[in-house]
Structure 1
Amino acid sequence: MTAITNSLPQGFIPVMLTPFLETGEVDYAGLKTLTEFYLTTGAAGLFANCLSSEMFELSEDERISVTKAVVDQVAGRLPVVATGTFGGPISDQAEFVKRIYGTGVQAAIIISGLIADESDSDEEFLKNALELISLTGDIPLGFYECPVPYKRLVPSNILEPLVATGRVVYHKDTCLDLAEVKQRIALADGQQFGLYDAYMVNAVASLKAGAAGLSCIQGNIYPELVVWICKNFNNPERQEDVKKVQQFFIDSMDLVHTAYPIIAKYSLQKRGFPISLYTRREVGVLTPELKTQMDNLLVEVEKIQADLGIPSNFTQYLVK
């Protein structure tokens, strides 16, 4: 299979949820509808089979079938990336990278905490990462500083030789450090590499520093605002609005991370999208108090969108 060497598009790349039936099985019909929903919000690409997708609670076959279902539904309209590493010997991880790439994704994503133990040095991580790159032909790759099983950051001095291979096209950044983000962006100058920040406190600052876009859980709650900020962060006529939206991201940080992804599924459901609250992952309880807080937040979202002139993408799902 010939690798796609083009960089990913700039903008919002959602970290996709996985809808489940109340029986606990993957809701593939719901997944198709959800995929279309992301497209209607203005997403630039999709990240399937990620932590928000409950990837560690999916079987190996489900990881493949979920990714394939998304790729098939998108049908080339947007690029899709998906996680391709789930632990074990590097040679085994390389084989699964090939399997996930075989579904038709544009890049396979490497979980930084799964190719080296927490006690391993950055140099050991780099050695393993380069081995994985060497074992996967010309497949485009990305890195995700996932908090599970543990959060391993890929510092600039380690990221630089990886990007220099020409194989790394995506980086889901969770370092939370704007100065480090700027260094990571600078070292990739001239490469087909995009840094997509997950930390919405720094959303505007990262975009202005040259980040390719955002890959954040907030896109599963108020995707329209994430798309809007990606399109308007540098618009001189909208800077006051940009500041207001950025402050809203900061103010809502704690709530959107509580009992996630249940709270995201609840917010989608509350806004009219047909999705079950069922999750396989143990993330805490969506209490009545949390529901009330989210209800209030969604009222604020609708007000902000109205003020900005952003139409809701949920009205098509409401029962007439």
Structure 2
Amino acid sequence: MVKQFPGGVWPVMLTPFTEENEVDYEALGSLVEWYIEKGVSGLFAVCQSSEMFQLTLKERIAVAKAVVKASNGRIPVIASGHISESLEDQAAEITDMAETGVDAVILITNRLAREEEEDDIWQKNCELLLAKIPEDIPLGFYECPYPYKRLLSEKNIRWCLETKRFYFLKDTCCDIRQIEKKLSCLKGSKLKLYNANTSTLLESLQIGAAGYSGVMANFHPELYVWLCRHFTEQKAKELSDQLSLMSLIERQYYPVNAKYYLSDEEKLPIRTICRVQDEEGLTETFKKEVDMLSRVSDELAEAYQVRR
């Protein structure tokens, strides 16, 4: 059985593609090395940032295997790829993903009930799904915004804790009051909350969140690593303010802009090719904004004595 996952930064991984729009496994290996060099605590592969809804099941499984192999046990790897509609297909998908060697399989909360359905239906479907998969598969949850965002209620969280099968929660509510209520439910349990939102991150760390699992770890994860390690220090507030403003780049042209950043600024062998966005949509103005982000990141790294 999996041990408690470490706190800190868990990037939502990108998927590099070749010119032929196939998964670029060599570039994927370079990306894993880059994350690890930046000091992250774990890797979240095959998630929405990975363009999992545009990957075949065969590709999702292959990507997870490749990340596990590249990480080589240095840090834990979790993966989702949980996108099917029927519970039978979801069970098969989860079982296949678990066999890749990942440390936990992450369930998408919106796959277990329709948007208009109540929490009781969600819980019933989750219970049925758990009965269809091996009990020794460590699990987690991701409040994925697509195709709709379903936040876990306190009632559902307490039920999940009773199963003793869940270890990781990627929270996307972006509301510190809701996070506070969730953390109250999770206190003393092995289910840890990782905040995806920069603006609420510092405060959430101060009240018990385990770490960060968000988009901006694809730009400057080392700054988030510093924040997760030093959130009790007075100067953490200044860095949090800067990171929150910089995180607005998420709304620009993601994930193309993140791949551009990694290619142009970090010199990784990654193309801007994506399946969810046309790379041509990354305008020269957008590129200038990403370049500015890189310069400010360098300045912050120097100020906080973080290696870039």
Instruction: Output the TM-score relative to the length of structure 1.
Output: 0.92
Aligned-residue offset at 1:87? 2.1
> RMSD across aligned C-alpha pairs, in angstroms?
1.3
1:266-313: CA deviation from partner (whole Å, max 9, x where unpaired) = 11122222211110112682111111111112111111111111111x
Distance 2:197 2:189 in 1: 23
Task: Assess if the C-alpha contact under 8 Å between 1:114 and 1:149 holds in 2.
Answer: no
Aligned-residue offset at 1:12? 0.5
Letter in 2 for 1:249: L
Aligned-residue offset at 1:103? 0.3
Q: State the partner residue of 1:309.
A: 305
Task: Assess if the C-alpha contact under 8 Å between 2:98 and 2:104 holds in 1.
Answer: yes
1:64-97: CA deviation from partner (whole Å, max 9, x where unpaired) = 0000000011111111110042122212211211
Instruction: Output the TM-score relative to the length of structure 2.
Output: 0.96
Q: State the partner residue of 1:213.
A: 211
Letter in 2 for 1:281: V
Q: State the partner residue of 1:225.
A: 223
1:270 and 2:268 correspond: no
Aligned-residue offset at 1:147? 0.8
Aligned-residue offset at 1:5? 3.0
Q: Report SS of the residue matched to 1:258.
A: helix
Q: State the partner residue of 1:94.
A: 91
Q: State the partner residue of 1:152.
A: 150
1:18-57: CA deviation from partner (whole Å, max 9, x where unpaired) = 1111110110011111111111111111000001111011
Moved more, 131-140 or 203-212: 131-140
Alignment CA distance shift 1:280-1:176 (3 Å): same
Task: Assess if the C-alpha contact under 8 Å between 1:130 and 1:162 holds in 2.
Answer: no
1:21 and 2:15 correspond: no
Distance 1:164 1:209 in 2: 23
Task: Assess if the C-alpha contact under 8 Å between 1:84 and 1:93 holds in 2.
Answer: no
Aligned-residue offset at 1:109? 0.6
Q: How many residues align?
A: 305
1:91-113: CA deviation from partner (whole Å, max 9, x where unpaired) = 22112111100000111111111
Distance 1:217 1:178 in 2: 18
Name structure 1 gaps, 5 residues minimum. 313-320
Distance 2:22 2:87 in 1: 30
Q: State the identity as a percent.
A: 38
